[in-house]
Amino acid sequence: MVTAGDFRNGMTFEEEGNVMQIIEFQHVKPGKGAAFVRTKVRNVITGSVVEKTYNPSAKFPTAYVERKDMEYTYSDGDLYYFMDPETYEQIPVNKSDLGDAFKFVKENMVCKVLSYKGNVFGVEPPNFVELQITQTDPGFAGNTATNATKPATLETGAEIRVPLFIDNGEIIRIDTRTGEYMERVK
């Protein structure tokens, strides 16, 4: 059991049959009245985010979300298959459970598959990936003081904005959490 007074960012707990994860929390002690905890919580199964207030002494059962490293092997229609590197068991994951950042994942990449009580509800790609540029306008140097960017298509089919000096065939590092270009890979 966890009390609302013990809340920390990233903590998961059960509430009314749902698994909630704390995004932000703030302990509030007004001049008049009782203290309370103001939170922003996300339902990890549905992805919805709500703001709630709790009494600091309210108790909730802890929800243990399993994060397992699995290798993305292939897709077949709306099902994406992940392999457990220890047992070689393959688990299908529905396309709707993947999230927006999955567009940066290519075959044989290791991702974290999230499950609660055996039910898979999400996939976390690596924070940084290295991908090759397959199509972009010709690059040129200069005028970098304005942080000018141009569109580029990656080998996974995703499109991002890159600096003007990046050419076709170059390998770049991308932050999958923001979808932004980080640096050129030598």
The fold for domain 2-60 equals SH3 type barrels. (2.30.30)
- Using a cut of 0.85, tell me whether the model's pTM lies above it: no
Q: Over 60: is that where the pLDDT of 143 sits? A: no
What distance in Å separates the CA atoms of residue 100 and residue 115, rounded to the nearest whole number? 18
Question: Which residue intervals of the chain bear CATH 2.40.50.140?
Answer: 66-124, 128-184
Question: What homologous superfamily is domain 66-124 in, according to CATH?
Answer: Nucleic acid-binding proteins (2.40.50.140)
Q: What are the tens digits of pLDDT across the range 54-75?
A: 999 999 999 888 889 999 999 9
What distance in Å separates the CA atoms of residue 125 and residue 72, rounded to the nearest whole number? 10
134-143 CB burial, b ≥16 within 10 A, e <16: eebeebeeee
Question: Which residue intervals of the chain bear CATH 2.30.30.30?
Answer: 2-60
Could you give phi then psi for residue 33, rounded to 5 degrees? 90, 180
Asked if 171 contacts 130 with a C-beta cutoff of 8 angstroms, the reply is yes
What distance in Å separates the CA atoms of residue 102 and residue 31, rounded to the nearest whole number? 47
Q: What are the tens digits of pLDDT across the range 77-95?
A: 889 999 999 999 999 988 8
Question: Between 46 and 160, whose confidence is greater?
Answer: 160
Give 3-state DSSP helix, strand, coil % of the chain, rounded to 5.
10, 55, 40
Q: What is the pLDDT of residue 86?
A: 92
Q: Residue 118, by phi and psi: left (phi above 0), alpha (psi -120 to 50) or beta?
A: left
Q: What is the pLDDT of residue 17?
A: 84
Q: Which two tokens stand for residue 35?
A: 């203290």
| Count of alpha carbons within 13 angstroms of residue 5, beta-carbon side | 7
Q: What are the tens digits of pLDDT across the range 102-119?
A: 899 999 999 999 888 888
What distance in Å separates the CA atoms of residue 116 and residue 98, rounded to the nearest whole number? 15
Which strands form 159-163's sheet, in the order they lie side by side?
159-163, 149-154, 128-136, 171-175, 180-184
As a whole-number percent, the residues of the chain with pLDDT over 90 amount to 46
Asked if 123 contacts 44 with a C-beta cutoff of 8 angstroms, the reply is no
CATH no. of 128-184: 2.40.50.140
Q: What is the largest CA-CA distance in the chain?
A: 64
Q: Over 90: is that where the pLDDT of 167 sits? A: no
Mean local confidence (pLDDT), 40-57: 88
Q: How does DSSP assign 46-64, residue by residue?
A: T--EEEEEE-TT-EEPBP-
31-35, 118-122, 123-127: the lowest-pLDDT one: 118-122
